[in-house]
Amino acid sequence: MEKTAYIVTAMLVALLLYSCANIGRPEGGPRDMDPPIFMGADPKPNALNVKKNKVELVFDEIVTLKDQQTKVVVSPVQKENPVIRAGGRKITVEFRDTMKPGTTYVVDFSNSIQDNNEGNPLEDFSYAFSTGDTIDTLAISGIVLHAHTLEPQQGVVVGVHSCLDDTAFTNVQLERIARTNSLGQFTLRNLRAGSYRVYALNDLDRNYRFSRNEDMAFMKEVIVPESHRATTMDTIFTQRNIVDTVVACEHTIFTPNDLLLNMFNEGYRAQYLKKNERPEDKKMLVTFAAFADTLPELRIIRPEKHASDWCRIERTERFDSIVYWITDSALIKCDSIITEMRYLKTDTNENLTMVTDTVPFILKNTYKKRMEQEAKKKEREEKEMQKQMERERKQLEKERKKEAKRRAKEERERRKHGLPPIDSTMVDSAGVVREAADTVVIDSTKYKKEAPRLGFGIGMSSTIDVDARARFSSTEPLDSVLQRGFHLYRFEEKDSVWNEIECDSVRLDHDYDPLNYGFDHEWVPGGQYRLVVDSLTVKGCYGLWNETLEQKFTVKSLEEYANLYLTITNAADTAFVELLDGSEKVVKTRQVVNGTAEILNIVPGNYYLRLINDTNGNGLWDTGNFGLGQLPEEAFYFPKVLKLKKNWDLEQSWNLFETPVDKQKPDAIKKNKPERKKVWETEEERNRKKKQGMNGDDEEDEMEDFGNKFYSGDKYSDFNRNNRR
């Protein structure tokens, strides 16, 4: 009996240990769908005259911290980050800095606190206390979007300065901070009454001050936080975001709660000479770290003797990369070229100043060494050619002898039967048939290497768009272009002939790029063309000529395209529209004229629209400048995908202010996707979805819907008035 009791006891202990070692819900039990519940804190929330530097927060279950480094922020900004730990049902915050008197401290956890088992997050949780007799209670909220792409800016710092001087943002740490959530939304809590400047900052160096290479946003308006009591209809949702109950509640409304911060990067880069090299004897390459407005001044010091027009210049549009094509043969043969260069450089005060440097261009593989290498290569090629010729001669002799023997045998057979010879040259004067073959002579000209030709080609495929440009590319700058050497033919189906038509003048695509040429032509839709370039039509700067080129191609018919006609409301007079593909690459750009824009000959597919209010009329989106108080140019997105079909015209109206700015960009092309909330399903709901899927009626995961569906038209103060719970 005792033995049996011992065995039962041992089994119960083992079962208890097993259950303790496997934390989780019992099989078949209800799933934990609720976030942790805050039970209390020491000191209490909003406590006054707090002296201790350690805080303990208590919850109803075991909790953990997720993404603590990126989600948890403490205000005011601490010189030394507090130590924040989760252990059991508690979270402790230990401040390392000396506590400031009469100051409200806030620890904003966002949604980083979650239960240990299921990972249910506690949303928008923050804790505050004061070291003085009062606690600050005001709050402001809003959203941060990228000014050009309207992408929600996730996890960036939003902060305020009570000092209204703009220099505070660059010289002093932000006074109060928060971080944006996955939708780009933010709330700055426990602000003191007063006036503030509001900023957003992608704080790369974590010093809570603006550096010119960081993304930032600012508002020209001074913000004054306020609060008032109001009765609103509140909606209680189920865990699956389904409406449960609607009740009338009295709340404190904190304003402004609709701030919009458009984040941008000034594009600032310190200017300096990044690279100078001579990759080959005919090229000198110069690269700068930032854009410029003019070429640097370059003067050759050594060798002293050189032609005044010693180079041809290839560069980028903004002068940050320059190639000097050396055309002076004396300089080409010189292994070391020493130059004096005058250019703009950023000094220690971030000002551009003109400097003069001695800049060498050293050829790693010296000219003499390269000539020796080329001579050895030529010698190897000559020997290989002789070997090839000898191999061909022996092969031909072998074949000739074999053929001669066959013919000699045939002639002997004919002579034996008294028949006349087929080839009298095979029989000598005595009537004897010859056996030997004639000596073989090899044509050596076919083994000779062809004279070098200019690398010049036609850059067109066999099928082109109706608005395509005829393109040509060269491997070196050109010295001359003979226009009459270009010929354009169109195939006339009626007569089945190629008729030559007038060819437009071939010109550089850009004056800063001497390698790419082309011409525009009004192609006949569906037409067949042939483009011919005669040999000796273009000459490179090193004396090489092109060989004959020919390219046949067909122009697409108009039935293969779609056309889009836009009527746009509230666009600026200088606005332009960009047609974007699924990766947000600009496909076509059109100016808005009198509130309309036409985008023609579009390849069928799914597209998106972006409009830029082009303030300065330069045809580009321009960023802002904090120092000048200049905001970036406004951008708007059409909120839906445009499905354009072949041989189809679409007329579309677009009111820029009809959709809230945070709702404009379609989710399909958003790069910064919001966090998906967990949606717990019952077995009945899963079976229902499964049945719907079998019937071809797929149901998308439900996501929290932020914001109203109406927009007043004030983009900067009314993006989303009802998006706060």
Q: What residues are paired with 513 via a beta bridge?
A: 510
**Residue 171 tokens, joined:** 């010289």
Tell me the mean pLDDT in the region 470-499: 94
pLDDT at 27: 47
The 3 state secondary structure assigned to 71-128 is: HCEEECCCCCCCEEEEECCEEEEECCCCCCCCCEEEEEEECCEEECCCCCECCCEEEE
pLDDT at 587: 96
Summarised one tens digit per residue, pLDDT across range 623-668 is: 999 999 999 999 999 999 999 999 999 999 999 999 999 999 999 9
- Whole-prediction pTM: 0.79
pLDDT, mean over the chain: 86
Distance CA 181, CA 111 (A): 9
pLDDT at 191: 96
Distance CA 235, CA 20 (A): 40
Given pLDDT bands bounded at 50, 70 and 90, which one contains residue 404?
confident
Summarised one tens digit per residue, pLDDT across range 573-592 is: 999 999 999 999 999 999 99
Question: CB atoms < 10 A from the CB of 566, how many?
Answer: 23
Q: What angle do CA 124, 127, 128 make, to 5 degrees?
A: 135
Q: Which of the two residues, 161 and 238, has the higher pLDDT score? A: 161
Summarised one tens digit per residue, pLDDT across range 96-140 is: 999 999 999 999 999 999 998 888 999 889 999 999 999 999 999
Tell me the mean pLDDT in the region 533-542: 96
626's CB contacts (< 8 A; 6+ apart) are: 166, 169, 210, 216, 218, 266
Residue 118, CB-side half-sphere exposure with 13 Å CA sphere: 16
Summarised one tens digit per residue, pLDDT across range 312-324 is: 999 999 999 999 9
**What phi and psi values does residue 602 have, to the nearest 5 degrees?**
-100, 130
Summarised one tens digit per residue, pLDDT across range 227-254 is: 998 887 777 776 666 777 778 888 889 9
Please give the full DSSP string across 569-622, using - where no structure is assigned: ES--TT-EEEEE-TT--EEEEEE-BTTEEEEEEEPSEEEEEEEE--TT-SSS--
Q: Which element (helix H / strand E) includes 391?
A: helix 367-416
Residue 693 has pLDDT above 70, yes or no: no
Minimal CA–CA distance to 291: which of 272, 313, 275?
272
Distance CA 478, CA 322 (A): 17
579 CA to centre of own chain: 16
Given pLDDT bands bounded at 50, 70 and 90, which one contains residue 680?
low
pLDDT at 11: 45
Q: Assign 3-state DSSP to the chain and report helix, strand, coil percentages, each to 5.
A: 15, 40, 45
Residue 541, CB-side half-sphere exposure with 13 Å CA sphere: 21
Residue 713 has pLDDT above 70, yes or no: no
Distance CA 437, CA 426 (A): 10
Summarised one tens digit per residue, pLDDT across range 669-678 is: 999 988 776 6
